[in-house]
A and B are shown apart, each in its own frame.
Chain A
């Protein structure tokens, strides 16, 4: 192919923008940082589109897409074979991700110029957005697992900085810390997984690890620890790393709190990009997981399925718009993980893989749209809570229509992109694991229900008393909404089965009406129930909530997992581990050392009594000593 060398610019441009706006942004007017960031992002976006166009549509790919590495350099050498390289890897999923990330980021940049207008720290916001995008781009184009880990950590830090953007609010600070620590904990698993993997295979390189028919796993067969094979350990631990970033149960607790960040941040990070990093990791390592550690793949599927159901149930009861959307994201991520968990490899078998990536793509578009729309609403109403909103369709038409489109998409209404991608997942699940299929089917219904609960409560129902009349957002905020709505509608028509597959060879796929029709029906059922309960003001929801009693309260409180987290960190780690260790160190270890000093001091005090100043004591000691020495010499030495 013609040189793809320009692809290195795709992450470099945001990096440069970060440095420029970060170091110099304060010297200029705020809008300059906003424009620089947006223009930079726009350029990266264009370059990504060009890359995708030429990669996917330029040339013959009957034998499958090639992995192209236009750039690679050695960054750090551990041993002869274990080397961290920094490079750009282009293959179907990474090119797809480039498009996803740059598109959403570009829209978010544009949107933020309006949303963050007048806020203190405007420059800082754009600097961090660029930093984040740079890190995320670096993550997806990584040529080896350690490079991915490096950018993984950088993504974590950018997320920390962005969630804690309003750093003077204690709740934001707590949320950013929680996000970082929970994902760090998962990263520990990731790291140990990398260590095990590299010990077995002696390489970090993706191309070597995922090559079909590779022999580097030869030594793995004999290795095991506590009865579980080394590869299963490695892949499960790596999955744990992914599960942290993608907020799979039970590492999901950071995501709802992460809504403390400004809404564009939620759109970018917690809807479309960072949270899919875990899914991407599993997809990247898919051949290894599928062939070397099938047990791990099962775990992926079940964790995904459970998370999906768990989050959907909680989403039904939440009142904060952003929290509903956050749990919705968790649920959809569960879909993606599940799809990978049930996938085979190669051709039709790899349907799950393709569906997962497809859903990732469509979800990014409509979820970002939902969040940005939510931002628009929050901006207008100055509150996050659904009970402060109602009847907004009259005041915010563009937001209304685009939000509706997104809701329809996520509910799986036919001809919109969500329908196509979700459908493929259901088909893949049906073929592999009936239980998981059943779970996802139910979740599809729940999804439609809670999304439309949200939609109707906000845009229909009785008008609330607003402080000042809500008005539509400025153009700079509505253009991204419209663009994303457009993408949500038409992305479904991209021929994904030919472009992004598990073995990089395209295949044909047909609509499975056995699955499609029931899924459409359950989607409509969900919408209908929501219509009945929420379109007009009524007290039926409240009565229903009461009748569910404890179950409702538990769900409303997110099953108390946050309380468990706080308990573990505050009480256990802080009080029962750290404090005793600090006490032990101060009083026992240090006490021992000081004790040596004290003992010496006391002994010295006793001994100094010998220096009595009494002449006769000295004389006695002298004579006795001389006598002892003389006797010793006479009787022992002679």
Chain B
């Protein structure tokens, strides 16, 4: 069986096995085993991919497979990966694995929780391996729906309201995406012949410019809503704040990357002329996102809100970089997707662990935790440094690639907005250090916090997995960036062919 299909089958088998377990212990062990196997498969895929590229296989997509699913509309289960997809799959595997361990103590309706969580992961894998727009959309929806029960049942705070808001806003995004996809479908055969949903085939034809200009905003904004494009990002603070830990980790870490990925794979790759003409609007929006999200984070008191606004800022940078449409900046965008995915998952995991101990997420109510829970505090600090772009951790690599790449643009406008986006390094430092200073350093604020237990083994496993990944990308980024740039080249070439540079 194709290794990519395996990526979807293993989670499904895990889900089925969970349904046979009886309680929390069974469910979590089965999930851990399943996701552990998935992690191994992802690693194997990575090595197979690197090996295939080494031997000179230069096809756009590797490990492809194709089964016709619905003949009359030409819908196929068509799968394949390139370097970018492989990197995203590895990201998902790591974050899901860490997420399982972060939910080790989920006692309420455990089996259902793990089933839904892994269903989320399944859908994400399916999305990344799909080459057929319809199947991709199917997996996208499948990733969206479980969010509602996950937040609404296992969340905290105004969970029903947040769940509703998140799901409805993201559904609105899907509606827009659907329009975009059908636009592409119905224009996929300008020379007669069958209409197709296949991405590679659509990328080979040229869709008339007027049609592109009409459908591009739909697809781009639709995916952008998931990718926290200003001003459609407001589902994110409430949604993440109310969601349970692993759900936040998975959503902010991985699902929001579906938005960025969709933006470039569907909207920009298939409609490059429109992307080029309309880029300036979205560049302005995303540069606002970057700075605005960061400033917004300074004032917040709830840890999860701070992290959510931070995600708005970092994810804004992803789309910003994509719109620069040159090789380096787009490399940076993918790197930022991976880096931010790992970092934000780590943050949410830590916040969940801290909340579980202090029962408050309000930064002003906590203080001096470094003395009490040193392991968690040190990891939090390192995560904070990653977020503000300290060299040696992944945030630096991604952000610098974006800035250098974006600045190389011929146009003064692009360079000016790049400088504006650069200012985020200072603003991020302000809010990160504010939290670290208030919460971890200083004297212990609340006498109840004097005797908290430090991280348990599963919490350590969860956080260390993510931390090691962040550090690995930060210390030795060359192999990853080479993998990504190799796969980006055909896309950039296609964009360059239609854009007067």
Contact = CB atoms under 8 A, between A and B. Distances in A.
A174 B441 CA distance: 10
Contacts of B429: 180-181, 184
B295 A77 contact: no
Interface residues of B, number: 60
Given A76-B477, A154-B391, A185 B231 contact: no
A170 B231 CA distance: 38
B418 A150 contact: no
A76 B401 contact: yes
A191 B422 contact: yes
Nearest to B431: A578
A195 B434 CA distance: 28
Interface string A172-185: 01100100110011
Interface stretch (A337-345, A499-507, A518-526, A589-597): A589-597
Contacts of A582: 295-296, 298-300
Nearest to A591: B234
Given A76-B401, A77-B482, A593 B165 contact: yes
Contacts of A181: 426, 429-430, 433
Contact of B443 (A170, A184, A578): A170
Interface string B357-384: 0000000000010110000000000000
Nearest to A120: B371
B396 A153 contact: yes
B288 to A, nearest CB: 10
Interface string A182-193: 001101100110
A82 interface: yes
A597 B165 contact: yes
A167 interface: yes
B385 interface: yes
Interface in A191-225: 191-192, 195-196, 198-199, 225
Interface stretch (B119-127, B271-279, B403-411): B403-411
A78 B404 contact: yes
Nearest to A22: B378
A621 interface: no
A interface: dominant SS: helix
A188 B442 contact: no
B168 A76 contact: no
A573 interface: yes
Contacts of B425: 184, 187-188, 191
Contacts of B434: 177
Nearest to A151: B391
A567 interface: no
Size band of the interface chain A makes with B: 35 or more
A151 B328 CA distance: 23
Nearest to A187: B425
A79 B488 CA distance: 13
A164 B441 contact: yes
B466 interface: no
A168 B443 contact: yes
A569 B443 CA distance: 22
B478 A154 contact: no
Nearest to B440: A167
B128 interface: no
Contacts of A199: 407-408, 415
B423 interface: yes
Contact of B418 (A77, A195, A581): A195
A380 interface: no
Given A188-B422, A191-B425, A594-B165, A78 B390 contact: no
A574 B426 contact: no
Contacts of A594: 165
23 contacts: A75-B477, A79-B405, A82-B404, A82-B408, A153-B389, A164-B441, A167-B441, A168-B368, A180-B433, A181-B430, A188-B425, A191-B422, A191-B425, A196-B407, A225-B412, A578-B299, A581-B295, A582-B295, A582-B296, A585-B296, A589-B234, A590-B238, A593-B169
Interface of B: 165, 168-169, 230-235, 237-238, 292, 295-296, 298-300, 309, 327-328, 331, 368, 370-371, 385, 388-392, 396-397, 400-401, 403-405, 407-408, 412, 415, 418-419, 422-423, 425-426, 429-430, 433-434, 437, 441-443, 477-478, 481-482, 485
Interface of A: 74-79, 82, 84, 146, 149-151, 153-154, 157, 164, 167-170, 173-174, 177, 180-181, 184-185, 187-188, 191-192, 195-196, 198-199, 225, 569, 573-574, 577-579, 581-582, 585, 589-590, 592-594, 597
Given A150-B396, A181-B430, A184-B426, 6 more contacts: A76-B397, A154-B390, A195-B422, A196-B407, A569-B430, A578-B296
Closest 6 CB pairs of A and B: A590-B234, A150-B391, A578-B298, A582-B299, A578-B299, A195-B407
